[in-house]
Amino acid sequence: MRAIEYTQYGGPEVLMMSTRPSPECGPGDVLVEVHAASVNPVDGKIRSGRLKPMPGAFPAITGRDGAGIVRQVGAGVAADLVGRRVCFMAPRGMGTWAEELALPAGLAVPIPDAMTFVEAASLPLAGTSAWIGLVETAALEPGMRVLIHAAAGGVGSLAVQLAKSIGAEVTATCSSRNVEYVRSLGASRVVAYNEARFEDCVENLDVVFDLLGGEVHRRSYPVLRRGGKLVYLNAEPIEDRGEEFGVQVQMAQVLPSRNALAGIVDRSAAGVVRATVEKVLPFEEFAQAQKLSDEGHVRGKIVLTVR
């Protein structure tokens, strides 16, 4: 099979297409013929060495999620899974930019016939991150006031829609070019970070969902009410000032979760949330895909078509 791997830290130029033996389908596993693979900002952070230590060892296959067809099942797995169309978020250290993947059967979530592989591949990591952040960590409820940062990106765009579907009042930040797009996702207030400071526009919030860290994280504390929650993803470094401001600070532990992914797939199938895929590239343009992702101006997701 073909796979995209790298043997050292660096820019997108360290990525190369290699030929590897097809993976073995062990007990409890499914062998998936990968048709589409998602591009995620974390891929570039791991590849560049910004998130050391790297899970696994060199040479490493990049990527974390995708979609395809189950072609084989291991011992203990129901035979009727063969031929099913699925999407998946792989365990840490198992790259998904490959033509075949053997992973635990419980991590392969069936997708409806009407859902394309490109759409399905865009959901797992971004959707799981949004679900674990808002539903499981923030415990978001109807009527709560939430601020979602980086709302035009892959995670943020799904988070806005998920929060709206729960019944929360959503404020979001993004660049000025994406204001109308984010408003169309369900945000009742959108702050363009290149035109205004969000802390001058909102206050007394129940939840902040921080996808950026760093300076944005530091500036988010004053907009929360005492007793509110600042939930963040592991992005740039953060300084925990929860005690000073009387708020709870919690990192969303984003691990493969069948429950979270199935919840997002169900809502996507029902039209409650929709994935935005700004660019679809062929597998051979893997370096360009990560270059675009590294630049950080993508609306929604980039997806590679593997087959």
pLDDT in tens, 30-86: 999 999 999 999 899 899 988 777 777 899 999 999 999 999 999 999 999 999 999
pLDDT at 211 over 90: yes
**Cα(99)–Cα(19) distance, integer angstroms:** 10
Chain segment 117-152, per-residue pLDDT in tens: 999 999 999 999 999 999 999 999 999 999 999 999
DSSP output for 155-212: HHHHHHHHHHHHT-EEEEEE-GGGHHHHHHHT-SEEEETTTS-GGGT--SEEEEEESS
Q: What is the pLDDT of residue 147?
A: 98
- Structure tokens of 21? 């033996």
Q: 297: pLDDT confidence band, cut at 50, 70 and 90? A: confident
Q: What is the pLDDT of residue 296?
A: 82
Percent of the chain beyond pLDDT 90?
Answer: 90
Looking at 9-13, 57-61, 191-195, 216-220, which range is the least confident one? Answer: 57-61
Q: What is the pLDDT of residue 57?
A: 83
Domain ranges in the chain? 2-123+275-305, 126-251
Closest CA to 9 of 41, 39, 53: 53
pLDDT (mean) for 258-276: 95
Chain segment 227-249, per-residue pLDDT in tens: 999 999 977 778 899 999 999 99
Closest CA to 134 of 107, 96, 106, 172: 172
Q: What is the pLDDT of residue 137?
A: 97
**Cα(189)–Cα(108) distance, integer angstroms:** 36
pLDDT at 3 over 80: yes
- The SS3 call for residue 131 is helix
Q: Which CATH number is 2-123+275-305 given?
A: 3.90.180.10
| 36 strand-pairing partners | 67, 305
The predicted model scores a pTM of: 0.94
Q: What is the pLDDT of residue 102?
A: 98
pLDDT (mean) for 15-29: 97
Q: Which CATH architecture does the domain made up of 126-251 adopt?
A: 3-Layer(aba) Sandwich (3.40)
